[in-house]
Amino acid sequence: MAGKSPSQFVSELLEKLAGASRHVSFLLGAGTSKAVGLPDVPELGERVGKDVAAQNEDLGKLYTQLQQSSMALSAALLPE
C-alpha cells in the first residue's frame, strides 16, 4: 500500500476481486486476533488453567504450581 491512498488501495482491491484472477493474500500480524477480541497466549493459558482447575482439583493445583514456578523463573532470569 506504500504510496497509495486508502481509497486507491480499496478500489484496486475491489477490481482485483471482481476480475477472473482472484488471487489475493493478506499478511496479518500477531496482534490481529487481540484487536478483534480473541485472547492472546497468556490470557488463553489463564482461561484454560481456570477451566482445568474448576473440573479437577489436583490438576488445578498442578497448574497453580507451574504458573508460580514460571513466574519465579521469569523473575530470576529477567530482573527489572
Per-residue pLDDT of 1-52, as tens digits, reads 567 788 888 888 888 888 777 677 777 777 777 778 888 888 888 888 888 8
24 and 42 Cβ atoms separated by less than 8 Å: no
Per-residue pLDDT of 46-62, as tens digits, reads 888 888 888 888 888 88
The pLDDT of residue 13 is 81
The pLDDT of residue 80 is 66
**The pTM is what?**
0.45
- Compute the distance between CA of residue 38 and CA of residue 43 in angstroms, rounded to an integer: 9
All structural domains of the chain with their residue ranges: 6-77
Which 3 state secondary structure label does DSSP give 60? helix
Cα within 13 Å of Cα(31), Cβ side: 1
Picking from 44, 48, 43, 80, the residue whose alpha carbon sits closest to that of residue 63 is 48
